[in-house]
Amino acid sequence: MKRTFADLHLRPNSTDPAQMAKLARKASELGYKMVATPLPPTASAEEIRKLKAICSEVGLDFVSRADIRPRNQNDLLTLLRKLRRRFEVLCVLCETKEIARQAAKDHRVDLLCFPSLDYRKRFFDRAEAELASGGAAAFEVDIKPILVLEGPTRVRFMSTLRREVSVALEFRVPIIVSSGAIETLLLRKPRETALLASLFGLTGSEALDAVSTNPTDLVQRNREKLRPDFVAPGIRLIKKGEDC
């Protein structure tokens, strides 16, 4: 079966439509069919519609995404209540162990992201993975650091990624590999991205799933939940009224 490839982490300047158009065009040329870019939590429906139109022109399905950087657990819960129905994908930037643990067990969180390159500030360990395995969150990995880092810093980062990916696989936490690209030079073809993912421990099929099945399944599941007639997985409201 033909795969639908997705990159859920393009990172253009959200106020520069021309940059988004450039990245979208390149992503389409490389073979992607679905893309997402982090938007400000205050992004309006009109702003999202414009980005969808830009991507649609080059044959891409645009996914609205918000990256949350909470200060504490209460802040995280407030943001999730506020944003869950407004965006198709919610990612939590886990910069403290407290936030990482809370995000992992909350079913409203789609992606767990650990932005620090310092292994001492990355908290995806066995306890984190066990919590995530009972929730709905996937572990997102960007390939950008692999492309731009050099020397010992790159070696340490790759070692950290291999350990984290091994833990995610052990606890069956879905892995999503994205580009994290801020410019077209950092974009790679989907199968090249999958090949890079094999460097940190994914098999060929697992790496391909991480750039196709895993992200597209996540988006489709969330779009189903955001439908006005959604009641529960597999259950839809057909008709509402006194005569039902």
Please report the pLDDT score of residue 11 as a whole number: 95
In tens, the pLDDT along 112-156 reads 999 999 888 899 999 999 999 988 899 999 999 999 999 999 999
163 token code pair: 């350990």
In order of their start, the domains of the chain are 67-225 (3.20.20.140)
Residue 82's pLDDT is 96
What number is the average pLDDT over the span 17-24?
Answer: 94
pLDDT band at 239 (very low <50, low <70, confident <90, very high): low
Structure letter (DSSP) for residue 120 = G
Half-sphere exposure of 172 (CA within 13 A, CB side): 4
- Average pLDDT of every residue of the chain: 92
Using a pLDDT cut of 90, give the percent of the chain over it.
Answer: 85
Burial of 158 (0-12, 13-18, 19+ CB in 10 A): middle
DSSP structural state of residue 182: S
Q: Is the pLDDT of residue 233 over 60?
A: no
237 burial level (CB within 10 Å; 0-12, 13-18, 19+): exposed
Instruction: Could you list the beta-strand ranges (E) of the chain.
Output: 6-7, 34-39, 61-68, 89-93, 111-113, 138-142, 175-178, 230-232, 235-236
